[in-house]
């Protein structure tokens, strides 16, 4: 049995692959939400919190010999396979406006606390625009509608394809509906966004859209 010193988004997803389970089945096994598993696929380098490390340890140690053998083989892919696999993943990101405010979520990320816009993984065949709206509601309880597509890029940190949508608030108060991954959800003044997220990491069309909406 291979020893896993530190579970990352990548190794956790390799365990899921070795078990040949869907996101829903793997989430049920671990006792967390399927949305959380989806996020792991988009963040291969993330390091899980201590309690999640323990859950994954138990799942791996309790797996059968066949699963452990498959996991060991999957742990040794060619280096270029990891890059191609990461870049094939897609996320939809919603920049939701309500008057002078924009919706943001505060995530636990590699042991740090980081603010960002609501986002969700886009499964093959899914419509990114629909995912942006659905994930925003599932994560924050806020209903929104897409005003325009701001564009897409290869995210500089995660290397996934990121689609950005400017959205308008329809209904709902901001609530943290995913306490496993998120610390907080809040409406932030548009003029204060760069206090929460470094300017050089924000997709430039977002800044232009926020300025134009003022």
Measured at the alpha carbon of residue 88, what is the angle toward residues 54 and 83, in degrees to the nearest 5? 70
The predicted structure's pLDDT at residue 117: 95
> Smallest Cα–Cα separation from 87: which of 169, 160, 178?
160
The DSSP bridge partners found for residue 102 are 97, 188
Cβ–Cβ < 8 Å for 37, 9: no
Q: How many CA atoms lie within 13 A of 206 on its CB side?
A: 27
Please give the domain boundaries of the chain with CATH numbers for all domains.
Answer: 9-85 (no CATH), 89-212 (3.90.79.10)
The predicted structure's pLDDT at residue 106: 92
The predicted structure's pLDDT at residue 2: 63
CA distances from 193 to 29, 90, 136, 198 (A): 38, 24, 18, 9
The predicted structure's pLDDT at residue 88: 63
**pLDDT string in tens for the chain (214-residue length):** 567 888 998 899 999 999 999 989 999 999 998 888 988 988 888 888 889 999 999 999 998 888 888 888 888 755 444 444 544 688 999 999 999 999 999 987 666 678 999 998 888 888 999 999 999 999 999 999 999 999 998 877 777 889 999 999 999 999 998 887 888 999 999 999 999 988 888 999 999 999 887 6
The predicted structure's pLDDT at residue 48: 87
Extract the tokens encoding 119. 């986002």
Extract the tokens encoding 150. 């701001």
The predicted structure's pLDDT at residue 81: 46
The predicted structure's pLDDT at residue 186: 95
Cβ–Cβ < 8 Å for 157, 176: no
The predicted structure's pLDDT at residue 109: 67
Whole-prediction pTM: 0.63
């Amino acid at each position: 049995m291979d020893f896993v010193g530190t579970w990352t988004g990548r190794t956790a997803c390799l365990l899921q692959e070795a078990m040949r389970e869907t996101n829903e089945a793997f989430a049920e096994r671990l006792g967390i939400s399927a949305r959380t598993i989806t996020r792991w696929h988009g963040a291969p380098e993330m390091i899980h919190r201590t309690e999640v490390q323990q859950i994954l340890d138990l799942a791996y140690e309790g797996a059968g010999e066949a699963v452990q053998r498959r996991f060991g083989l999957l742990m040794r892919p060619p280096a270029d396979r990891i890059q191609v696999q990461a870049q094939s993943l897609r996320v939809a990101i919603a920049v939701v406006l309500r008057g002078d405010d924009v919706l943001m979520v505060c995530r636990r990320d590699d042991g740090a606390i980081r603010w960002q816009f609501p986002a969700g993984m886009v499964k093959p065949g899914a419509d990114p625009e629909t995912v942006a709206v659905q994930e925003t509601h599932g994560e924050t309880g806020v209903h929104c509608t897409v005003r325009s597509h701001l564009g897409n890029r290869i995210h500089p940190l995660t290397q996934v394809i990121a689609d950005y949508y400017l959205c308008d608030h329809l209904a709902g108060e901001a609530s943290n509906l995913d306490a496993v991954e998120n610390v907080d959800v809040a409406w932030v003044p548009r003029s204060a966004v760069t206090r929460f997220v470094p300017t050089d990491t924000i997709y430039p069309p977002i800044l232009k859209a926020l300025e134009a909406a003022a």
